[in-house]
Structure 1
Amino acid sequence: MSNSPDYSHLLPPSWKPQVTAWLAEDTPSFDYGGFVVGEAPREAHLLGKGKDAAVLAGVPFFTEVFEQLGCEVEWHLKEGETFAPVKHVATVRGKARHILLGERVALNMLARCSGIATKSKRILDIARGYGYKGIIAGTRKTTPGFRLVEKYGMLVGGIDPHRHDLSSMIMLKDNHIWSHGSITAAITSARRVGGFSLLLEVEVQSEAEADEAIAAGADIVMLDNMDGAELVGVAQRLREKWGKERKWLFESSGNITEGNLRERAVNEIDILSTSAVHQSVQHVDFSLKIQKPQ
């Protein structure tokens, strides 16, 4: 069984109205199919299908969909647990039309959240297999309006969700630097308004830019699109140069995939961030089947 913590305790007060909005979007006027099936009490089985083993993620969102419709959900697996298809994952009980009102909304969410958790766990496991001891993180390249679910899936899969939004951490990328004039000037300006409580990360394109960012006080230096010997060399030289004078973390990002993870998963780098865990990720196949009355 999974030892995954209960991440539902992290969810903000705004998450349940989001579920309400999903249901409103899916049935904006008449429920014609619901009229056909009526309100007879029924039981439906949630089946995890697909071809490969998958990680279950999105449990609180799935449950909330059906609770808002007056149904109850009994889970047969714990969130974060890996299952092999075909698996009876949960049972939903309620009025027939209410089960069908929530079916597609709940399945679409669960399929994507579980897909992200599955991919996250796989990349983390591969990196650990290469001996990498640092942090594997997602990115902010999430779907507008669905960020909470996608970040939640990363957590269940065992990786760091990275910053959630522009207010979570100060990140100065190439456009910020070019617009402001220099790395040092941009960091100085950001520190003045961000204060002491926010970490400040700077994206750099070269060793010289990384050196300037460290000198100016960056907490995290992102070595963008560097890999192999260049990545290791830059990290080693700068750590040698600065020694104990400055403390910072190195992050590597840009086109990190399962295929090139070996050359990027080096312990000279503290954080590997990748959108491969949530962009174009394979969804996990689930279905919800109403059982015939006995």
Structure 2
Amino acid sequence: MRQDLAKMVYDDIGFEDITTCALIPPGLMVNGQIMAKEGGVIAGVELAVVIFKEFGVETDVMVVDGEKIKNGQIIMEISGDPRSILSVERTVLNLLMRMSGIATLTRNIIEMVRSVNPNVLVAGTRKTTPGLQFFEKSAIRAGGGDTHRYRLDDSVLIKDNHLALVGGVDEAISRARKYVSFTKKIEIEVESLEEALHAVRVGADIVMLDNMDPDKVKDVIVALKKENLRDNALIEVSGGINSDNIIQYANTGVDVISTGYITHSARSLDLSLDLEKMHQ
């Protein structure tokens, strides 16, 4: 983790920060602070501390990941060599702003869902930025959401292309059961009521209703209850879910709502870093 964060910084610096090296003399020491320029939910604070520490910058943290913050609130105070601080500033702020934007959107979505269904989980999908999936998933968690799969080795998720190549639900689940450890859950993506019922009957742990409208999702829940199958598997809904329609899905009776919206459509939270010379 520390190496990944350091690489982000060095990829940005290149051989040297020529602006800072040209303007700032060695030996100067400064104080500074990172401040919120709008309200939201903060995320990435621990990672920012790791970066600053790696470059010899001292930090005093005022908030923790997942905490609601207000416009003008100080996130952390820093002190050290301005050459180091200025060289890592953009990477730190980009990470904090990106993660805080995801955490804020996640929290807002969850509050919408909880207003009609306090029991449903809101989860992210793997529609994340390559190389940043750990950070973006961590931001979802800071916002109160479920991370779903971080990587492909977390659990089995049988999708339409798998089924097209394998030949059907029965064979796919059978192969998965034989291959994976008992600790790994098996989830399958379905597109119709009939497929959903069949997937539960043959032992899927989680059934994902993909791109179904809310009325069709309700039909699945009703059918499962009629056959006394509702408690046999978790029912997840996914596909095209956003702030405009998530309330409708929360009212269907599903266990999990997963959405890429909270990562791919999140706006970065506005934060700033200001420095001042230390008094000698």
Residue correspondence of structure 1 range 58-73 to structure 2 within 5 A:
58-73=44-59
Cα distance in structure 1, aligned partners of 2:228 and 2:187: 17
Q: Match of 2:263, as an amino acid? A: H
Q: Does 1:95 align with 2:81?
A: yes
* 8 Å CA contact retained: 2:5, 2:51: yes
Q: Pick from 6, 11, 17: which aligns with 2:3?
A: 17
Q: Pick from 22, 25, 45: which aligns with 1:38?
A: 25
Q: Does 1:230 align with 2:208?
A: no
Cα distance in structure 1, aligned partners of 2:99 and 2:240: 22
Tell me which stretches of 4 or more aligned residues in structure 1 moved more than 6 Å. Answer: none
Gaps of 5+ in 1: 1-14
Q: Does 1:253 align with 2:238?
A: yes
Q: Match of 2:218, as an amino acid? A: V
Q: Does 1:47 align with 2:35?
A: yes
Cα distance in structure 1, aligned partners of 2:9 and 2:256: 38
Cα distance in structure 1, aligned partners of 2:144 and 2:35: 23
Cα distance in structure 1, aligned partners of 2:206 and 2:25: 57
- Pairwise CA distance, 1:262: 1.7
Cα distance in structure 2, aligned partners of 1:278 and 1:73: 28
Which whole-Å deviations, capped at 9, do the CAs of 1:155-175 have from their partners, x for residues lacking one? 110110101111001000111
Q: Does 1:182 align with 2:168?
A: yes
- Pairwise CA distance, 1:37: 0.9
Q: Percent identity, aligned pairs only?
A: 33
Cα distance in structure 1, aligned partners of 2:189 and 2:227: 20
Return the TM-score normalized by structure 2: 0.95
SS at match of 1:153: helix
Cα distance in structure 2, aligned partners of 1:155 and 1:218: 26
* 8 Å CA contact retained: 1:236, 1:268: no
Which residue matches 1:277? 262
* 8 Å CA contact retained: 1:56, 1:114: yes
- Pairwise CA distance, 1:38: 2.7
Cα distance in structure 2, aligned partners of 1:241 and 1:98: 64
* 8 Å CA contact retained: 2:217, 2:252: no
SS at match of 2:175: helix
- Pairwise CA distance, 1:27: 1.4
Cα distance in structure 2, aligned partners of 1:170 and 1:262: 28
Cα distance in structure 2, aligned partners of 1:122 and 1:193: 39
Give the number of equivalent residue pairs: 277
* 8 Å CA contact retained: 1:45, 1:291: no
Which whole-Å deviations, capped at 9, do the CAs of 1:217-248 have from their partners, x for residues lacking one? 1000001111222211111112321448x721
In 2 relative to 1, CA 132–267 (structure 1 residues): closer, same or farther, beyond 3 Å?
farther
Which whole-Å deviations, capped at 9, do the CAs of 1:26-59 have from their partners, x for residues lacking one? 1121221231213300011211114xx2011101
Q: Match of 1:204, as an amino acid? A: V
Cα distance in structure 2, aligned partners of 1:243 and 1:190: 21
Which residue matches 2:206? 220
* 8 Å CA contact retained: 1:57, 1:113: yes
Return the TM-score normalized by structure 1: 0.90
Mean Cα deviation higher: 99-108 or 26-35? 26-35
Which residue matches 2:121? 135
Q: Does 1:289 align with 2:274?
A: yes
SS at match of 2:33: strand
Gaps of 5+ in 2: none
Q: Match of 2:45, as an amino acid? A: V
Q: Match of 1:206, as an amino acid? A: S
Cα distance in structure 2, aligned partners of 1:179 and 1:25: 40
- Pairwise CA distance, 1:131: 2.8
* 8 Å CA contact retained: 2:36, 2:270: yes
* 8 Å CA contact retained: 1:134, 1:267: no
Cα distance in structure 1, aligned partners of 2:270 and 2:72: 10
* 8 Å CA contact retained: 2:44, 2:65: yes
Mean Cα deviation higher: 166-175 or 191-200? 191-200
- Pairwise CA distance, 1:192: 1.0
SS at match of 1:90: strand
- Pairwise CA distance, 1:60: 1.2
